[in-house]
Structures are given as C-alpha cells and as structure tokens.
A = this chain, B = another copy of it.
Amino acid sequence: MPSTTKAKSTSAEEIIAQLTDAVHEHRLKPGAKLREDEVSDVFGVSRTVVRQALRALAFEGLLTIEKNRGAFVSKPSLKEAHEVFQARALLEPSTARAAAERTTAGDIDLLERHIQEEHEALDRGQPGLALKLSGDFHLEIARVADQRTIEQFLKQLVSRSSLVIALYWRRRNALCESNAHHALVDALRKHDGTAAEDLMKGHLLDIYSQLDLREFEEGTTSLKEALRK
C-alpha cells in the first residue's frame, strides 16, 4: 500500500503483481480505467515502464487496451465467460490427474497451508483475498503436475474467471468450495488420479453453475450507457 503521495522506484513485475492482486481481489472492478500517469505517480516510475506492465496485463486478458483511449479492467462478455470455463474444463481435470501421480509430501503441505489461508481470509472478512487464494490453489495443482505450459494458460483462465465472478456471481454470501479443495488434496495425497480428475471436473461445474450467465447485458454495460438513448 503506497502511503501518501508517491512511492518510488518499483519494477514492472512489481506493478504487474500489484495490479493483478488488486483485480483478483476485486478492489479494481471490471470497467475501471487505469490512466498511465496516475499509475506512474503511484509507483514512482515513468510511463514507459507502466505501459509495459499494462500491455502485459492486457495480454493476459486482465486489461483491455483501446487505442488512444486507455487501459480498462476487462469486462468479459457472456460468451467469453462460457469459453473460459469450457477451456478450464478441458485443461484442469487431466492436469489434476497428472498431478496426483507426482504429488509429494511437500506439495500436500503447501496446498493445505493454502486452504488454511483461504479460510482465514474468509473469517477475517476478506472475501476478495479468499477468492484470489482460491485461484492460486488451482495454479498450484498445475505446478504440481509439472506442466508449465498449461499452468501459464491456466493463469490467464483463472484471471479471467475472477473477472467473470465479479460480473456474474449470483449470491455474494456463498462460502462454497472449500470442501472441494480439501477433497482434491485428499485425492492427491492418495495418488488417486481418477478421483482427482473427477473431483476437479465436478468442482469446475459447481462454480460454473453458481454463475448467472443468462442473456441480459450484451451491449448495455453501464447505467449511463443504458440511459443514453
């Protein structure tokens, strides 16, 4: 957290990390604009490096850059939302199976600590942080599977999922999924690939089914725009 006026001399990776966290934790909401010199003031670097960071984030799908207009937190359409979870359904179950065959005791520890932190964040009343940690859990499984390429894609998909959840989540209260993650770790511990694959498949369907992905907002993005004509 930058204190008063300007923090100084941060690297591009640091900017990327902080903006990513902010979006994942829904402190920056879909549609929010990121002005270049505003960001460069906050981080105490020139626009050059800020632009680098913004473009990297745009490539991941977290931001959308409109020429001569600026960078905005992406607002995935309903179609994109579906596509994200279809892609996850293709990649993650198989990856969970592969992970089960390679899981070490250290991996189990790490994953359980992850779940622990997730619970603590929820108890502390930080649902945004919990959501971010939940996403990291999925990435961790790809790491355990030793699939860097898939992990990289998954990173993008998890990012976009966070945006989808911000836009289309049905009930804000739901504490959901913590069970699913626990069950997954159990399957990994037992090196039960089939169970891990099935659990992951079910878990993704669970999240997917808790989204409100009906047709209603294609084109009407904000109140302002909705009233414009």
Contact = CB atoms under 8 A, between A and B. Distances in A.
26 contacts: A55-B55, A55-B56, A56-B59, A59-B59, A79-B148, A80-B148, A80-B149, A83-B147, A83-B148, A83-B149, A83-B150, A84-B149, A86-B147, A86-B149, A86-B150, A87-B91, A87-B147, A87-B149, A87-B153, A90-B91, A90-B94, A90-B150, A91-B91, A149-B157, A149-B160, A153-B153
A52 interface: yes
A84 B150 CA distance: 8
Interface size class, chain A: 20 to 34
Number of identical monomers bound together in the oligomeric complex: 2
Nearest to A148: B83
Interface of A: 52, 55-56, 59, 79-80, 83-84, 86-87, 90-91, 94, 147-150, 153, 157, 160
